[in-house]
Amino acid sequence: MTSSLTSIIDVISYILIAFVSVSLVVSCIMIGIITHISVMERTKEIGILRALGASKQNISQVFNAETIIIGFCAGLIGVGTSLLLTIPINALIHRLLDISAMSAFLPPVSAVILVALSIIVTVMGGLYPAKIASTKDPVIALRTE
């Protein structure tokens, strides 16, 4: 009985890991699209920065810094939401099961890992658009409207 329950829990865990993996890939692609749109809308700004003496690496750093900030904020929002949701979940567990010893919680180490993972995924999604932004010709970028 215990071994069959363990195998069922393992299968459910693998299915959940697969869903999370797919959502991370989709998130990375969406962040890349959003950063690419940001690059396209800010072409004139890129041209001005390059005309003022910013190097290609500086332009790339601007967009990479933005993706890091977005990833950090998204990670904090996700961890904060998880922490807030543990309050009603614990109340529900205690009321339905009458077990006060069992509680849902998010360990601090896991919270830090989740924020770091969020930053890594956003940086991975923003690397290619940042590279595109850094290779734009400043003269052509200044001519765009």
- Domain locations in the chain? 30-143
Percent of the chain with pLDDT over 90: 48
**Can you tell me the distance from the alpha carbon of 91 to that of 104, in angstroms, rounded to the nearest whole number?**
10
**Can you tell me the distance from the alpha carbon of 127 to that of 29, in angstroms, rounded to the nearest whole number?**
11
pLDDT, average across residues 83-98: 88
Residue 60 has pLDDT above 90, yes or no: yes
138: closest CA among 50, 41, 57?
Answer: 50
pLDDT, average across residues 86-105: 84
**pLDDT at site 61:** 94
| pTM greater than the 0.85 cutoff | no
Residue 145 has pLDDT above 80, yes or no: no
